[in-house]
Structure 1
Amino acid sequence: MERLNLINQCIACIFILQITTCLAQRPIREHNYNRREHSLVKPFLTAGLSVPYWDYTGSVMFTQNYVRLTPDEQSMSGAIWNQIPCWNRNWELFVDFKVAGRGKDLFGDGLAIWYAKDRMVVGPVFGSKDYFNGLAIIIDTYSNHNGPHNHQHPYISAMINNGTLHYDHDRDGTHTQLAGCEARFRNVEHTTQIKIRYENDVLSVFTDLENKNEWKECFSVDSVELPTGYYFGASATTGDLSDNHLLNSMKFFELEGATTAERAQIVPRASKFEEPREHVDDPKPSWSNLQIFVVLLLGMIGAVICSIAGYMYYEKYQQNKKKRFY
């Protein structure tokens, strides 16, 4: 009996030793965790009316529940930028936002989420710099979209730029976009969430459009190289068309992987792009039915006036002719 107990104890020791060895050989996995210095969450303002870790410019306004980048007014622009560069190679950014306005058929322009080298630079790309270095997630709501497209708006797309590419508003950026998807989020009762995930050079964007806590993949692209040490930001703009562009939160999560400055010197690049679309000028717009009707109406009025004038001239001529016989 004692021998049996001794054998069982030996077996138990060997089992425990094997488990310990396996655990020791297993790589340690870090849990994803929120980094406050890269996140924009409520309460936004401190007692001194400053925003911890963030700067802002333009038409930005803070409330208890959201950050308004632009009001529903023409020709407005606003941006908010993180003060702390991101040194994490792998990360996730959750953006909770809302776009709404009075326009039913005509509205715009949209907003962009940035991971870029230069911050707080006002420009024509949804309120921020053109020819930028880094990543832009563009949330385009412009209802009167430009150029030949195979998609409807609103539209979410990504652009990787090394400082040499121009965002072509006349073509809604379709000739330089990395990938994209349609997303109907405007004027819905709930807020919209997108998740931007960058891990091991794979860029993925997911959406939760129905407020069901269910993520749907918008797109995923591999071989995307982004440097560390860039800044997160968000900007929005309106033109002749307008909307309220509201940010409810931006939450940054560090994924497993090293925090490193080694990639700070690489150039942003992506090996795969959607098939480029050349900039082709729009054909001259044809006349609408209203324009044709106005032209015909003016022509008829002109013809009537000419007829009346001709008749009056003829009557006067006849009267003068009769006077010659008296």
Structure 2
Amino acid sequence: MTFSSWRLRISVAVALFLSSVAALNMLDSLRREHSLIKPYQGAGMNVPQWDFTGSTMVTSNFIRLTPDQQSKQGAIWNSVPCYTTKWEFQVQFSVHGTGRDLYGDGFAIWYTKTRMQLGPVFGNQDLFSGLAVFLDTYNNHNGPHNHEHPFVSAMVNNGSAVYDHDRDGTHTQLAGCAAKFRGKSHPTHIAIRYEPSVLKVSLDIDGKNQWTECFRVEGVELPTGYYFGVSAATGDLSDNHDIVSLKFYNLEENVDPNFTLQRSHIIPSAKTSEAQREHVEDVPPSKIGKVATSGLKVFGYIILIIIVCIVLIFGGIFLYQYSKEDRRKRFY
């Protein structure tokens, strides 16, 4: 065996060893009080350290926040506040339904001051305080934007900003990326990693255990003592929004209690957000057919008016020529 072959084998062995060490470290840092993993313990809707609301249904293989039905809202919330300053929250999920071209609305992952409040923002209250990561599948927006759907974005709020569905939240988002996670034959993953001032979101859509960075934002300040949750909503369009697992990892080393205490008093903030754009009202899916029919009628009327005008013009020309010829004949 050649030296280069030995060197390749050694490199592969070292890489596998380092990967195993990293996996063990992540396993050691897993915190059960903020995690939800199969088999879901408890009876019925009673799962220790987690509360459910709305249309949420617990099964043996997943937790369904909403069924593939219109006008549903559901959510799960951790009942234990998080006092970790450096963490990673991984969500394994599946979004699917019968809709081929029209579906929605999507779901959101929360780290907020209040919990268990159903509302208009993917099944949670508006004017929240904390962090939201939106996984928006609603693909019928009329406002101008530069991205496809599904779309993943983040928003930090101090309780004063309104999330605007008609603008996809782009006037308040920190960053985002298109991610085709809907309708996969396997569950997909998202990882939200936070350390003071830095927020990073990564995705594993193909199920290859390989993270792809969606975005990374600096200047993000989040306090300790908030709650993790996941919520989903359907409107005129619908989907199944299923959560398979929630895993929280504590990434802190040499924790300073004074620093943790200081972080509990800060106000959620972010230095940057994307530029605002003009507000454009959405057309509800139930009215799309009416709008299209109305547009066809208007187009038909326009064509009819054009045809009538052409007939009148040519008719006028014909009459003028006829009268002119008639006068000429009488003159001679």
Give TM-score scaled by structure 2 length: 0.76
| Root mean square deviation, CA, Å | 2.5
Letter of the 2:184 partner, please give it. Answer: V
8 Å Cα contact 2:45/2:57 also seen in 1: no
Deviates more, 1:238-247 or 1:145-154: 145-154
* Percent of matched pairs sharing the same residue: 58
Q: Give yes or no for the alignment of 1:108 onto 2:104.
A: yes
Higher helix share: 2
Q: Distance in 1 between matches of 2:201 and 2:165?
A: 22
Match of 2:269 in 1: 269
Q: Distance in 2 between matches of 1:200 and 1:191?
A: 30
After superposition, residues 1-326 of structure 1 pair within 5 angstroms as: 31-32=25-26, 33-47=29-43, 50-257=46-253, 258=255, 260-280=260-280, 288=292, 291-292=295-296, 296=300
Aligned-residue offset at 1:274: 1.8
8 Å Cα contact 1:146/1:172 also seen in 2: no
Give TM-score scaled by structure 1 length: 0.77
> What secondary structure is seen at the aligned counterpart in 1 of 2:95?
strand
Post-superposition CA distance 1:294-325 (Å, at most 9, x none)? 9849x99xxxxxxxxxxxxxxxxxxxxxxxxx
Aligned-residue offset at 1:127: 0.6
Q: Distance in 1 between matches of 2:188 and 2:299?
A: 47
> What secondary structure is seen at the aligned counterpart in 2 of 1:242?
coil
Aligned-residue offset at 1:142: 0.2
Match of 1:312 in 2: none
Aligned-residue offset at 1:172: 1.3
> What secondary structure is seen at the aligned counterpart in 2 of 1:123?
coil
Aligned-residue offset at 1:199: 1.5
> What secondary structure is seen at the aligned counterpart in 2 of 1:204?
strand
Q: Distance in 1 between matches of 2:45 and 2:72?
A: 22
Post-superposition CA distance 1:78-122 (Å, at most 9, x none)? 001000000000000110000000000000000000000000011
Letter of the 1:242 partner, please give it. Answer: S
8 Å Cα contact 1:175/1:278 also seen in 2: no
Aligned length: 269
Q: CA separation of 1:295/1:177 partners in 2, compared to 1, >3 Å: closer, same or farther?
A: closer
Post-superposition CA distance 1:157-194 (Å, at most 9, x none)? 00000000000011111110010000001111011101
Aligned-residue offset at 1:289: 7.4
Q: CA separation of 1:132/1:251 partners in 2, compared to 1, >3 Å: closer, same or farther?
A: same
Q: CA separation of 1:48/1:153 partners in 2, compared to 1, >3 Å: closer, same or farther?
A: closer
Q: CA separation of 1:49/1:280 partners in 2, compared to 1, >3 Å: closer, same or farther?
A: closer
